[in-house]
Structure 1
């Protein structure tokens, strides 16, 4: 995701880690909210209303700093990111019409594993042994999820569309990193929200029935408000406040708990049951995320530390009495 706020801070480090957990919990509950809303409000319309409202809210808040920064480059890059946001969230919402909130939460988390291989395909660095190990573990986890129905290997339409959502989200993360240098990321975020919202409304008009807005209950409007205000604006702001102060490795692990919160809230609010194969699959997928996100950076830090210690050791040997003339 784009980094919105960079600040010097006097807050303790644990506060920013708490921000990450809160953001992950908001997104985890967001999966449950979408699952409970898609029957009354079609997927594309959810995306359209959610991101149009989020773009307007964030745009109004940040309007004073945008007036001199809007140019063709920001509009082009923001539009590309907006298309990817739309495709990711539309497919995710569509998948929730034919899968459980628990499955959706964990399958979407696979983007952490997809990104290294997709980046390599787009002329990025070659995947490491950790990336390959994570992919194997996650595929095993998806296999457990697919066998959970007890009728043999079976990925439902909703599961497959959710996997497609993870792929689009991977593209979004890669291109966000590519576009970040030299751009105002807050402005890019607002532009992509507005573009995703407009595309969602257009797709809803073209492919889905028009919701009966007058007949929508208070619970549906509350769900839409939650998705626009909390799951978009607030969670993103908390995430970006935190990642400016927390190292990437622990930050990734805290954000990966979104899938755990998604399962927890699905059990609490949707009455979903965790069978043994599902639990095993979720555990393997989460383990794959940890392998993909944490171990490579831990190995890199260890190697960097050894490289720093090597010159000191050589100097110490050179200064020892045995080596003096």
Structure 2
């Protein structure tokens, strides 16, 4: 198994864990913790663990890795901040749908930064994926409000984050980059908590539900997932990374059905099939060759 294939399996694992994170995040928020406090704690917690591991392994961190990590962490923080605050003003399904639109922005942002134009197949796959996410998440009477606008901005920041790592990581150490990405996002989360939430760390009550949810978010949804994503983006093109990670919506639905007893609807089935189909299409060279023959 080559590195690209292994990285794709890793990205699917990330999507699955992130899908389970919907449950953990809901438990944490229901326990009383505020949004910015949760963002700050989960990322700073992941930073402390990863930094300790790097020190134990005597891995040297270069200034270039620190700068890229800190830079990427800014976009990561804003993505989570806009998504979380937007969720306070809109429904979860609309929030998920608009967040999933980052798959549409990635090829354009990647083109803008690197001057590498994506293939037509990627655009077609992205469009199908966008439709799939819409079917999976959209509610009746879809309308644009303040929360939807914030979530739209969140999707742009997620797309920029994917592209920045994919375009700039090159031969740098992914673990070092991820370490300072966590630090940057975590510090900004605490800053947001101080400014917008009056430093309400008192919302931490450390009961079993809150503690277990935060530990899961730190170790799996944050530390493990972003390590895998950062490493995988060295071997997988950003457009395909974005497509694979959108299966988070499918896994999120499955965990909601299994754990929260949500009903299995035709929308979930059809939307999930379209998302997986778009990824299979992006991985196939058949249609691309056909289109090339038509052009040529």
- Same fold by TM (over 0.5)? yes
Q: Give the root-mean-square deviation of aligned CA atoms.
A: 4.0
Q: Distance in 2 between matches of 1:181 and 1:252?
A: 18
Q: Distance in 1 between matches of 2:135 and 2:185?
A: 33
Q: Distance in 2 between matches of 1:138 and 1:247?
A: 17
Q: Distance in 2 between matches of 1:205 and 1:219?
A: 24
Q: 1:179 aligns with which of 161, 168, 171?
A: 168
Whether contact under 8 Å (2:174, 2:227) holds in the other structure is: no
1:132 aligns with 2:132: no
Q: 2:103 aligns with which of 91, 94, 112?
A: 112
Q: Distance in 2 between matches of 1:139 and 1:17?
A: 20
Aligned to 2:41: 49
Q: Offset of 1:215 from its aligned partner?
A: 3.2
1:69 aligns with 2:58: no
Q: Offset of 1:217 from its aligned partner?
A: 2.4
Whether contact under 8 Å (1:38, 1:97) holds in the other structure is: no
Aligned to 2:25: 34
Which ranges of structure 1 fall in alignment gaps of 5 or more residues? 1-7, 307-325
Seen in structure 2, the aligned counterparts of structure 1 residues 161 and 79 have a Cα distance that, compared at 3 Å, is: same
Cα deviation per residue 1:207-236 (whole Å; 9 max; x = unaligned)? Answer: 124142453422112111111111122234
Aligned to 2:156: 167
Aligned to 2:72: 81
Q: Distance in 1 between matches of 2:109 and 2:240?
A: 23
Cα deviation per residue 1:68-94 (whole Å; 9 max; x = unaligned)? Answer: 4332x3332222111011111222333
Seen in structure 2, the aligned counterparts of structure 1 residues 241 and 130 have a Cα distance that, compared at 3 Å, is: closer
Q: Distance in 1 between matches of 2:149 and 2:254?
A: 22
Seen in structure 2, the aligned counterparts of structure 1 residues 104 and 35 have a Cα distance that, compared at 3 Å, is: farther
Cα deviation per residue 1:126-148 (whole Å; 9 max; x = unaligned)? Answer: 34322433454355456656863
1:220 aligns with 2:217: no
Q: 2:14 aligns with which of 20, 23, 29?
A: 23
Q: Distance in 2 between matches of 1:15 and 1:179?
A: 21
Cα deviation per residue 1:281-306 (whole Å; 9 max; x = unaligned)? Answer: 55545544554x424x5666x69xx9
Q: Distance in 2 between matches of 1:276 and 1:251?
A: 27
Seen in structure 2, the aligned counterparts of structure 1 residues 89 and 16 have a Cα distance that, compared at 3 Å, is: same
Which one is further off, 162-171 or 118-127? 118-127
1:58 aligns with 2:47: no
SS at match of 1:125: coil
Cα deviation per residue 1:54-77 (whole Å; 9 max; x = unaligned)? Answer: 011011001155664332x33322
Q: Offset of 1:125 from its aligned partner?
A: 2.6
Q: Distance in 2 between matches of 1:171 and 1:247?
A: 14
Whether contact under 8 Å (2:46, 2:223) holds in the other structure is: yes
In the TM superposition, what are the counterparts of 1:1-325 in structure 2 within 5 Å?
A: 19-39=10-30, 40-64=32-56, 68-71=60-63, 73-98=64-89, 104-105=95-96, 107-122=98-113, 124-138=115-129, 140-141=131-132, 144=135, 148-149=139-140, 152-155=141-144, 157-209=146-198, 210-213=200-203, 215-238=205-228, 255-273=245-263, 276=266, 280=270, 283-284=273-274, 287-291=277-281, 293-295=282-284
SS at match of 1:183: coil
Query: What is the aligned residue count?
Result: 289
4+ residue segments displaced more than 6 Å:
13-18, 240-253
